[in-house]
Structure 1
Amino acid sequence: MSTLSTVLAFILLFGALVFFHELGHFIFAKRSGILCREFAIGFGPKILAFNKNETTYTIRLLPLGGYVRMAGEDPELIELKPGLRVGLILDKNEVVKKIIINRKEKYPDARIIEIEQADIEKDLFITGFEEEEEERIKSYKIDEKAVLVENGIESQIAPIDRQFSSKSLLARTLTIFAGPLFNFILAIVVFILLGFIQGVPSNEPMLGGITKDGSAMKAGLKQGDIVHSIDDAEVSTWLDIVEIIQENPGDPLTFHIERDDKLMDIQVTPQNIEGEGKIGVYQPMNKSFGQAFVYGFTETWFWTKQIFIILGDLVTGGFTIDAFSGPVGIYASTEAVAQSGIFNLFRWGALLSINLGIMNLLPIPALDGGRLLFFGIEALRGKPIDKNKEGFVHFIGFALLMLLMIVVTWNDIRRFFL
C-alpha cells in the first residue's frame, strides 16, 4: 500500500471516529436547545467552512480530534459596556437584528448609538443615546438570534436559556455522555455490517470455504457438507471437527457427511503442519441479518471487556505505558491492517472506536469522563462546583494529557522508525 493511500486511510478512519463522537455531543446539545457555534473536525487552521442553522461547520488542518463549541462553555463574545458606540441594524418593528461593533462605515443604514445599558443574555435589550439626538435615550429590544459584528465577522448572541450551563443536570450529562456513546454505536453498526457481508462464525458441524491446495479439496469434500461423524466419533460442533483433525496429522480419517440430503463417507488425510493436522477448510459463516445484528452487540461487548482487562493490568502493573500507542502508532498499525484488506480495516476502525469511547469515559479531567465526574459531584452536592475551580482542574488534566501524548508519541517513533 502506498504512503499516500495509507495517509488517506488514516485520515478517513480517524476522521470518521471523531465525526461520530462529536456528532453525539452535537445532536444531544441541539435537542437540549443549546446554541452550537461550531462543529469542527480537526484542529488548527480552517481548510473548509460553511454556516447552516446557527452553526459553523469546519474541517481543520490537523486531523487529530475535533470539538463542538457550545455557547456558555467559553467566555461569551464581546461585553457591551456603557459608552461604547455601536451601530444597530433594525427590522421593520425596530427590533435589533445586528449590533455593529466597529467598521460601522460599512453599514450606512445602521443607527448609531452610544450605549447606556445593554443585556444580551437575559432581558435582551439595549439603550443608549442616538447620534442625532444625544439628549434622548432610546431603548431597543434585541432579537434572540441577533448577531454581533466585529471586524466583519458575525457571532450570534446566546441568551442564557441557549447556554450549556443553564440546562438541567440531566441534559448536560446526556450531551457529554453522547460522544462516547456514539463511538460504541458506530462499532456496533460496523460489526453488524461485517457480520452481514462476511458472515458470523458458526459453530455448526458444517464445512465452510475449501482451500484449493488442501487435502479436503483433493478428497472431494465441499463447502456446505454437514459432518455427522469422523472415524465413527460423533461430532456436533465445528470445534469438534477442528479438534479431531488437529490431533491426527498424517492419519487417514473417514468423514461421514450429509450433502444434498444424501449420506456418504469420504476419506481425508490431514496434512502435518507444525505438528497439527490441517485439511484446508474454513469455519462456516452465517450471513443472516438476525445473526449479524446479535454479532454487532456481542463483538462490541467482547472487545470492551478486553480493553478494560488491559486497563486493569495497567493499574496493577501487569501492563506498561510502552504498550500504548498514540497517533504515530495508530498510523503504523493502520498501514499494516489496510494491507490485509478493506474488511480488516473496518474491523480495526470499530476497535479504535470502542477504545476512543472507553478512553473518553475515564474519570480524567479534560476528558468527557472528567466532566461527567463533576456532574456526579454536582448531583451529590445539589449545586455545581465553582466554574473557575473546575476549569483549573480541567486545565491541569489537559496539560498532563499532552505530556502523556508526547511520551507515547516518542515511544511510537522509537518503536516504528528508529
Structure 2
Amino acid sequence: MNFLIYILAFLFVLGLVIIVHEFGHFIFARRAGILCHEFSIGMGPALFKFKKGETVYCIRAIPIGGFVSMAGEDPDIAKIKRNQRVYLKIQNNYVTDIYLYPDVKERLVQARVIDFDLYGKEGNDLYIHYENIDGETHFVKVKRNALYHFTPNNFQQIAPYDRCFESKKWFPRFLTVVMGAGFNFLLALVVFIVINLVTGAPRTEPIIGSVSPNSPAYSIGLQAKDKILSLQLEGKDPVEIKKWDDISFVMREFTQGDITIKVLRDGEELTFTVTPEIYVATLGITSTRDLTNTSIGSVATNSNADKEGLQAGDEIIKIGGTLFDDKNTKEVEKGYLEISKANNTLRNWYDLNNFLRKFYLGEKLEITVLRNGQEKTFTVQTLKAIESANVSRAIVGISQDTNRNVFVAIGNGVKDTLSAIGSVFETLYLLIADRNIGVSDLSGPVGIFDMTKTYAASGFISLLSWLAFISANIGFVNLLPLPALDGGRIIFLLIEAIVRKPVDRKVEGIIHTVGFILFMLLFVYVTFNDIIRIRG
C-alpha cells in the first residue's frame, strides 16, 4: 500500500511540474497564434490521447518530460512529395483530408501529386495539383485546417506559414520559449507561499516556536517563546545567537559533551544544560537520549538505514568502511577503517559520531548490531554530504517560531524560490570545482522517485516543499544554454536578434537533435547510477 502511495506522490510531483512547464509553452504559443499539434506529458509510446480543437492531448509511457509540438519546429513541414500517391477527400472543391495510406473506407480521390503548396508563405492559397487514376490533371485548393492522415489513428493538421512558429514576431516567440521555465518558477513561488501561509513563515529571530514532547529540550524545561541568547558547546567559548540559522551552525559543530543554552524568558535570563541527541543524516539514524551507549533511538523512514533493515533499539557493536576522501590522504592510506566494542574503540555515540564524520563522500559501511541477543551485519550506502560537518548534527527538539502574515509569507516564498534556484548554481559550482563531485552524483527520475518517497513519508506539506524545489530546479535547468533545452532555443533567438536573420532551421534542428541524443545518453547513465546507488 505504501508503495502505491509513493507512486502516486511521484506522479503528482513530476506530473504537475511537467504539466505546468508545458502549459507555459502552450498558452503563449496559442496567444501568438501558433498551431500546437500535440500537448504531451511523458515520452515514448502513447498510453492515452484525445483531440480537442486543433490539438491532441497525450499521456506517454516514460515520465521523463513532455513537449508541445508546434507547427514549424520540423524543418520538413510538408508531409507529401511530388509524384507521391495520396488519397484526397474533397468537399465543395476544397481538400479537407489527405490520406497517406490506401486502406480507407471513405470515397476518396486517388491522386499522384504533380505539384503543391501547403505552406503559403507569400499569403497564397494552399493547393494540390494532381493526376487522377484516369490520367486527368486537376488543380484543387486545400483548406488551411485540412488534416494529414498517416494511419487510421494518427493524424495531424497541416501547418500553413501563418500558423508556424517562425512566422511570428521575435518577442512572442521568445515568450513562447521562455515561459515554460517561467511557469515552473511561478508554480514554485505559489507553492512556497502557500506553505508559509499554512505552517507560518519562519521567523529569523532565535525564538523557540515549539518544544517536542519527550525531547532533551522538554526534559530540561525549555519552553515556547524562549529567546535563545547564546549556545556553548562543551570545551568551547559561548556563541552569541542573533538569528535562528546561527543555532544550526553551532549544532553542526557538536562532537561530544553537553550544550549550555542561555535564554530570555519574560525579561529574565535563564541558563540550561542539555545532552542532545545525535542525528546522522548520511544514514538516517538518531541516537537515544543516552549518548554513553551505542543504541539506535530511531530510523528515518525511507532512509538508507531503513532500506537495509536497521531498526530502533539495535545496538551498534562494530562499524567499518573504506574512505573515498582524497583530501585526507593519511586516513586513506590506512585503507579500511573500523571501530568496535571488541577492541574498545567503540564505547559510545561520541566515538560513533566522530568515526562517521570521516565518511562524507558516499562510501559504504559495514554495520554490525546486536538485536535480541543476536549479531546482524548490514551493508549501508551513505549519502554524499560533501563536507564532514554535514554528516551529523546535534538535535534537542526545538522548532523555529513562525509568523502567519500574508506579506511575510510572500516575501519568504520569494526567498525560498530563489534559494531553490541557487541550489542549481551550487551544484554546477561543485561539479566544476570539487573533484569529489561528478556527473555520477546527479539524479534522474529514479533518484527523484526515491527522494519523493522520503518527503511523502514526512507528510503532505513536506511533499509540497519538494514539489516546489523540483519545479524551481527544472525551470532553471531548462534555461541553461544547451542544445535541446529551452535555453538552447533562446540562444538561437538571441543570435537572430543580433544578426537580424534567423539561423537556418535545418542547422538548428540538427544541433538540437544531437543535443537531445546526448541528453538521452546522460539520462541512461544517470538512471543507471541512481539504481546502483539506491540498491547499494
Please confirm whether the aligned pair reaches a TM-score higher than 0.5, indicating the same fold. yes
Q: Distance in 2 between matches of 1:378 and 1:252?
A: 62
Q: Map of 1:28-107 to 2, 5 A cutoff?
A: 28-74=28-74, 75-79=76-80, 81=82, 84=85, 86-91=87-92, 94-103=93-102, 106-107=105-106
Residue 239 to residue 344, structure 1, CA distance change in 2 (3 Å): closer
Q: Distance in 2 between matches of 1:267 and 1:173?
A: 60
Match of 2:176 in 1: 175
For normalisation by structure 1, the TM-score amounts to 0.82
Q: CA deviation at 1:217?
A: 5.8
- Say which SS state the counterpart of residue 512 (structure 2) adopts: helix
Match of 1:362 in 2: 480
Residue 209 to residue 90, structure 1, CA distance change in 2 (3 Å): same
The counterpart of 1:371, out of the listed 489, 505, 509, is: 489
Q: Distance in 2 between matches of 1:168 and 1:252?
A: 63
Q: Distance in 2 between matches of 1:85 and 1:411?
A: 48
Q: Which amino acid aligns with 2:209?
A: G
The counterpart of 1:309, out of the listed 404, 426, 448, is: 426
* In the alignment, structure 1 residue 293 sits paired with structure 2 residue 294: no
35-44 or 381-390, larger mean C-alpha shift: 381-390
Q: CA deviation at 1:26?
A: 0.7
- Say which SS state the counterpart of residue 447 (structure 2) adopts: helix
For normalisation by structure 2, the TM-score amounts to 0.66
Match of 2:443 in 1: 325
8 Å CA contact 2:117, 2:128 repeated in 1: no
8 Å CA contact 2:216, 2:275 repeated in 1: no
8 Å CA contact 2:424, 2:477 repeated in 1: no
Q: CA deviation at 1:149?
A: 3.4
* In the alignment, structure 1 residue 397 sits paired with structure 2 residue 498: no
Q: Distance in 2 between matches of 1:412 and 1:106?
A: 50
Q: Distance in 1 between matches of 2:261 and 2:502?
A: 74
8 Å CA contact 1:39, 1:55 repeated in 2: yes
Q: CA deviation at 1:311?
A: 0.7
- Say which SS state the counterpart of residue 203 (structure 1) adopts: coil
8 Å CA contact 2:207, 2:244 repeated in 1: no
User: Across the two proteins, how many residue pairs are aligned to each other?
Assistant: 402
Unmatched tracts of structure 1, length 5 or more:
258-262
275-284 or 390-399, larger mean C-alpha shift: 275-284
CA-atom RMSD, angstroms? Answer: 3.6
124-133 or 1-10, larger mean C-alpha shift: 124-133
Q: Which amino acid aligns with 2:59?
A: I
Q: Which amino acid aligns with 1:72?
A: G
Q: CA deviation at 1:9?
A: 1.7
Unmatched tracts of structure 2, length 5 or more:
231-239, 278-349, 351-392
Match of 1:161 in 2: 162
Residue 383 to residue 127, structure 1, CA distance change in 2 (3 Å): closer
- Say which SS state the counterpart of residue 69 (structure 2) adopts: strand
8 Å CA contact 1:96, 1:146 repeated in 2: yes
Match of 1:187 in 2: 188
Residue 51 to residue 352, structure 1, CA distance change in 2 (3 Å): same
Residue 9 to residue 396, structure 1, CA distance change in 2 (3 Å): same
Answer 1 or 2: which has greater helix percent.
1
8 Å CA contact 1:366, 1:398 repeated in 2: yes
Residue 215 to residue 268, structure 1, CA distance change in 2 (3 Å): farther
Q: Deviations over 1:205-233 (max 9, x none)?
A: 6542233335776788764x475999xxx
- Say which SS state the counterpart of residue 282 (structure 1) adopts: strand
Q: CA deviation at 1:156?
A: 1.4
8 Å CA contact 1:87, 1:99 repeated in 2: yes
8 Å CA contact 2:241, 2:247 repeated in 1: no
Residue 355 to residue 133, structure 1, CA distance change in 2 (3 Å): same
8 Å CA contact 1:269, 1:279 repeated in 2: no
The sequence identity of aligned pairs, in percent, is 35
8 Å CA contact 2:217, 2:274 repeated in 1: no
Q: CA deviation at 1:344?
A: 1.4
Residue 281 to residue 315, structure 1, CA distance change in 2 (3 Å): closer
Match of 2:535 in 1: 417
Match of 1:144 in 2: 144
Q: Map of 1:262-277 to 2, 5 A cutoff?
A: 269-273=272-276
